[in-house]
């Protein structure tokens, strides 16, 4: 699951463009400088107190924490060391041992001083960008660019940063040139790109800065303790429930306009037949009589905030249809908000017919992108509330009706979600018993058990994971593995074995009293404080080992695009360590252990002659080499030769696939049909492993069922 600090870093990674570095001091004050909001001092004190009392490690807010906070905050703002100079970093040293004392007093001023300097540095660089694009780059000069500067030294002079930005921009321009664009188009594209980056920095507000700073504090204790601003709190709740109340449209930014990116099927926008993809929204009004708010130039999340609202309330939009000419008068679209069910992240299934060792098998695949649960709907007793387990139970019923011989659960790229859903999902495949052990911050250990003694699917089972599979995904995979109920395939998982509790800051007494204070000019209900996720416990497998740091090691391993040295919990600076407690008492089903050696041998034999698997391992090796070298050539002839080589390789692979289908080969420049794209080789091999498991299990069943007289049982 993407964490809030990753969201901010991803945004800041986009905010990258060359500009001349003005020589500014920490004492420079501009009219556009941000300052703390009225509530921030109190919220900061409450957060610091919550962390020291309830975090799993009971961290002290001392000089050591202050030092870590400074490092983490600077890293958040300038992770790639492209804005600040070494002199700036040296100037920040005056804060290194005093931020703890400042927070205890509710002083978050240093965060804003540092951010305002970052903003000045960034805006100055964007201003220089257009100057660089006035003249075409010389792509015949042999030089290179290092895209990853996270572990390199801070630039000592502005000229050094100028050169880094020049090479970065030149590399982006070369990409566009090799894609067939001429220089005027290249310059226009990059000018627009970096103007958008500049605008995004301008739109960052005090709440954004406060969130970055509070996350730097929380994540210096562990990487999964996060502060979420009111806006991000709402998005988090939507992602967990897969539902929201609004109009059913996904929005994006295009210059100064908010543009409809997608219409959600069945929502109010879809039913109205008045709002479509690529339409521009220029104004928003509440109800039938509310005043219009001009949203041109407004950041998209603020527009979303205006459009979302309670079910059965009215929102009006001023819309310029995508088909209208420039300068057209907007039309008014009246919509009644409703509950929207988001289907793109819910569990889905598929049936696959394969021929394996001369036998035909019908296999089921269930893809689970996240572990979701509409807790509010569940508590209200709504009959159709969204839940991973409810959806998978239904999908299993459909697959059983289709006559599948076995099921593959695909958890790749599933970053986790609801712990309760992981427990209940495990219960669909086992009779009863513990699923996970949880050790809280006070040392108490609790076993979380399967709440339902019924087994929904009793057949052959495999689980496919990768390095991104984390948290609840690891709980499910570990339980299936420990019970030996199914075979776990893929790559070693992420290793997130910590439990976070969500604290609604609006319910914290000190903050709720602040809202009700009669002398508060903001007034009751005018301020929302957001939420904080606090690591209060650790997961432990039923065999006693934690999933923290080490994750789940598959029974049958596949190669991974993700290097364990670069990605995963073990790479996080402040990750909690691996440890072990006593094993829980459980009855192992042992449905797979005796087959594992044979399954591995058969899989290795298949993959040794699998052309698509060879392609995969070649691509993984190339990507690993590129990461280690950390250098991109901006010499046109070399970059073109590298791309041509990759294109020749890609075309050869496509034609090899077409040859296997008895199709004519393609020539250079031909459009490549979708059917000729690379197949999901790891899923395909997982299905063959599942077929092997089905076959072996069936033979054992028949052997055990042979009657005393030697006859076979009735197979009808």
Which CATH number does the domain housing residue 562 bear? Answer: 3.90.226.10
Question: Are 167 and 143 within 8 A, CB to CB?
Answer: yes
Mean pLDDT, residues 542-562 taken together: 94
**Looking at the structure, do residues 334 and 406 belong to the same domain, yes or no?**
no
**Looking at the structure, do residues 386 and 470 belong to the same domain, yes or no?**
yes
Question: Does a structural domain hold residue 612?
Answer: no
Please give the model's pTM, rounded to 2 decimal places. 0.83
Q: Residue 31: how many CB atoms within 10 A of its CB?
A: 4
User: What per-residue confidence (pLDDT) applies to 197?
Assistant: 82
**Position 706 pLDDT exceeds 80:** no
- Using CA atoms in the order 221, 222, 224, 230, what is the torsion angle rounded to 10 degrees? 10
- For the chain, give the longest Cα–Cα distance: 96
182-232 pLDDT, tens digit per residue, is 999 999 999 988 888 888 888 899 999 999 999 999 989 999 999 988 777
Please identify, among 155, 189, 221, the residue that sits at the C-terminal boundary of a domain: 221
**Looking at the structure, do residues 651 and 516 belong to the same domain, yes or no?**
no
656-696 pLDDT, tens digit per residue, is 999 988 999 999 888 888 777 889 999 999 999 999 999 99
The model's confidence at residue 504, banded by pLDDT at 50, 70 and 90, is confident
Write out the E strands in 48-201: 144-145
Question: Does a structural domain hold residue 442?
Answer: yes
User: What per-residue confidence (pLDDT) applies to 675?
Assistant: 77
Rounded CA separation 535/441 (Å): 9
User: What per-residue confidence (pLDDT) applies to 241?
Assistant: 66
Question: Does a structural domain hold residue 553?
Answer: yes
Question: Are 278 and 315 within 8 A, CB to CB?
Answer: no
**Looking at the structure, do residues 173 and 297 belong to the same domain, yes or no?**
no
The pair of three-digit structure tokens given for residue 470, joined into one six-digit string: 């984390």
**Looking at the structure, do residues 123 and 265 belong to the same domain, yes or no?**
no
Round the average pLDDT of the chain to a whole number and report it: 87
The model's confidence at residue 712, banded by pLDDT at 50, 70 and 90, is very low
Question: Does a structural domain hold residue 643?
Answer: yes
**Position 527 pLDDT exceeds 60:** no
Give the active site residues: 471, 482, 496
User: What per-residue confidence (pLDDT) applies to 30?
Assistant: 56
For 235, list phi and psi in degrees, rounded to 5. -65, -40
39-94 pLDDT, tens digit per residue, is 899 999 999 999 999 999 999 999 999 999 999 999 999 999 999 999 999 999 99
Rounded CA separation 168/679 (Å): 34
Question: Does a structural domain hold residue 543?
Answer: yes
**Looking at the structure, do residues 593 and 467 belong to the same domain, yes or no?**
yes
The model's confidence at residue 262, banded by pLDDT at 50, 70 and 90, is confident
Please identify, among 341, 369, 403, the residue that sits at the C-terminal boundary of a domain: 341
Please identify, among 320, 341, 362, the residue that sits at the C-terminal boundary of a domain: 341
Which CATH number does the domain housing residue 269 bear? Answer: 2.30.42.10
**Looking at the structure, do residues 594 and 664 belong to the same domain, yes or no?**
no
Q: Which residues contact 6 (CB under 8 A, 6 or more apart)?
A: none
The pair of three-digit structure tokens given for residue 491, joined into one six-digit string: 């790559």
Question: Does a structural domain hold residue 413?
Answer: yes
**Position 24 pLDDT exceeds 90:** no
Closest to 16 (Cα-Cα) out of 71, 88, 81, 74? 81
**Looking at the structure, do residues 104 and 158 belong to the same domain, yes or no?**
yes
**Residues of the domain holding 136:** 4-221
583-595 pLDDT, tens digit per residue, is 999 999 889 999 9
Closest to 28 (Cα-Cα) out of 157, 120, 109, 126? 120
The model's confidence at residue 289, banded by pLDDT at 50, 70 and 90, is very high
**Looking at the structure, do residues 483 and 386 belong to the same domain, yes or no?**
yes
316-364 pLDDT, tens digit per residue, is 999 988 877 766 788 999 999 988 777 778 999 999 999 999 999 999 9
Mean pLDDT, residues 500-522 taken together: 70
Question: Are 174 and 639 within 8 A, CB to CB?
Answer: yes
More confident residue, 231 or 597: 597
User: What per-residue confidence (pLDDT) applies to 17?
Assistant: 29
More confident residue, 411 or 128: 411
The number of domains in the chain is 4
| Poorest-pLDDT segment among 103-107, 236-240, 339-343, 558-562 | 236-240
Question: Does a structural domain hold residue 236?
Answer: no
| Poorest-pLDDT segment among 43-57, 424-438, 691-705 | 691-705
Question: Does a structural domain hold residue 228?
Answer: no
**Looking at the structure, do residues 97 and 146 belong to the same domain, yes or no?**
yes
The pair of three-digit structure tokens given for residue 60, joined into one six-digit string: 């002290």
- How many Cα atoms occupy the beta-carbon half-sphere of 377 within 13 Å? 20
390-412 pLDDT, tens digit per residue, is 999 999 999 999 999 999 999 99
More confident residue, 608 or 376: 608
**Looking at the structure, do residues 560 and 668 belong to the same domain, yes or no?**
no
**Looking at the structure, do residues 331 and 407 belong to the same domain, yes or no?**
no
Rounded CA separation 53/501 (Å): 13
């Amino acid at each position: 699951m993407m964490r809030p600090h990753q969201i901010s870093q991803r945004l800041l990674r986009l905010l990258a463009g060359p500009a001349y570095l003005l020589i500014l001091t920490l004492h420079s004050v501009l009219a556009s400088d941000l300052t703390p909001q009225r509530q921030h001092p109190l919220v900061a004190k409450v957060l610091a107190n919550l962390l020291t009392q309830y975090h799993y490690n009971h961290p002290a807010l001392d000089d050591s924490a202050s030092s870590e906070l400074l490092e983490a905050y600077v890293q958040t703002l300038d992770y790639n060391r492209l804005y600040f100079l070494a002199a700036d970093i040296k100037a920040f040293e005056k804060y290194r041992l005093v931020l703890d004392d400042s927070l205890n007093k509710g002083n978050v001023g240093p965060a804003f001083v540092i951010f305002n300097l970052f903003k000045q540095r960034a805006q100055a660089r964007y201003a220089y960008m257009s100057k660089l694009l006035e003249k075409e780059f010389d792509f015949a000069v042999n030089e290179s660019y290092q895209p990853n500067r996270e572990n390199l030294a801070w630039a000592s002079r502005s000229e050094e940063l100028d050169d880094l930005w020049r090479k970065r921009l030149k590399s982006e321009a070369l990409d566009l040139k090799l894609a067939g664009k001429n220089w005027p188009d290249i310059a226009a594209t990059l000018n627009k790109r970096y103007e958008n980056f500049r605008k995004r920095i301008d739109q960052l507000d005090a709440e954004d800065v406060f969130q970055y700073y509070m996350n730097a504090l929380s994540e210096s204790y562990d990487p999964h303790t996060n502060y979420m601003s009111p806006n991000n709190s709402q998005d988090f709740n939507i992602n967990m429930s897969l539902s929201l109340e609004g109009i059913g449209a996904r929005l994006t930014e295009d210059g100064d306009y908010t543009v409809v990116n997608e219409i959600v099927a069945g929502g109010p926008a879809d039913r109205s037949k008045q709002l479509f993809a690529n339409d521009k929204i220029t104004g928003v009004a509440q109800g039938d009589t509310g005043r219009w708010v001009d949203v041109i130039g407004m950041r998209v999340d603020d527009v979303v905030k205006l459009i979302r609202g309670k079910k059965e309330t009215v929102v009006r939009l001023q819309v310029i249809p995508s088909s209208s000419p420039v300068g057209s008068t907007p039309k008014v679209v009246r919509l009644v908000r409703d509950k929207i069910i988001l289907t793109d992240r819910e569990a889905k299934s598929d049936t696959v017919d394969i021929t394996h060792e001369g036998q035909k098998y019908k296999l089921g695949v269930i893809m689970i992108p996240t572990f979701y649960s509409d807790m509010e709907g569940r508590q209200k007793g709504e009959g159709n509330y969204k839940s991973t387990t409810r959806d998978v139970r239904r999908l299993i019923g459909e697959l059983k009706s289709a006559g599948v011989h076995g099921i593959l659960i695909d958890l790749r790229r599933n970053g986790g979600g609801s712990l309760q859903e992981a427990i209940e999902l495990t219960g669909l495949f086992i009779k009863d018993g513990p699923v996970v052990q949880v050790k809280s911050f006070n040392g108490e250990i609790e076993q979380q058990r399967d709440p339902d003694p019924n087994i929904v699917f009793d057949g052959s089972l495999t689980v496919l994971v990768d390095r991104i599979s984390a948290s609840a995904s690891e709980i499910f995979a570990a339980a299936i593995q420990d019970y030996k109920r199914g075979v776990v395939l893929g790559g070693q998982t992420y290793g997130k074995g910590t439990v976070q509790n969500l604290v609604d800051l609006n319910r914290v007494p000190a903050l709720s009293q602040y809202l009700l204070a009669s002398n508060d000019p903001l007034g009751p209900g005018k301020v929302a404080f957001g939420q904080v996720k606090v690591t209060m416990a650790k997961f432990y497998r039923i065999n006693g080992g934690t999933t923290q740091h080490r994750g789940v090691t598959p029974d049958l391993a596949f190669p991974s695009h993700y290097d364990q040295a670069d990605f995963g919990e073990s790479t996080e600076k402040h990750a909690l360590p691996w440890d072990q407690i006593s094993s829980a008492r459980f009855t192992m089903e042992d449905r797979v252990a005796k087959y594992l050696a044979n399954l591995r041998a058969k899989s290795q034999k298949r993959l040794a002659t699998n052309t698509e698997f060879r392609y995969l391992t070649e691509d993984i090796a190339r990507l690993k080499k590129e990461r280690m070298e950390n250098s991109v050539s901006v010499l046109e002839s070399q970059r073109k030769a590298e791309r041509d080589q990759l294109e020749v390789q890609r075309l050869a692979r496509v034609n090899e696939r077409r040859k296997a289908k008895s199709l004519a080969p393609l020539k250079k420049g031909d459009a490549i049909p979708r059917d000729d794209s690379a197949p999901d080789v790891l899923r395909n091999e997982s299905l063959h492993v599942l077929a092997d498991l089905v076959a072996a299990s069936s033979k054992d069943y028949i052997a055990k069922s042979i009657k005393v007289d030697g006859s076979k049982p009735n197979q009808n």
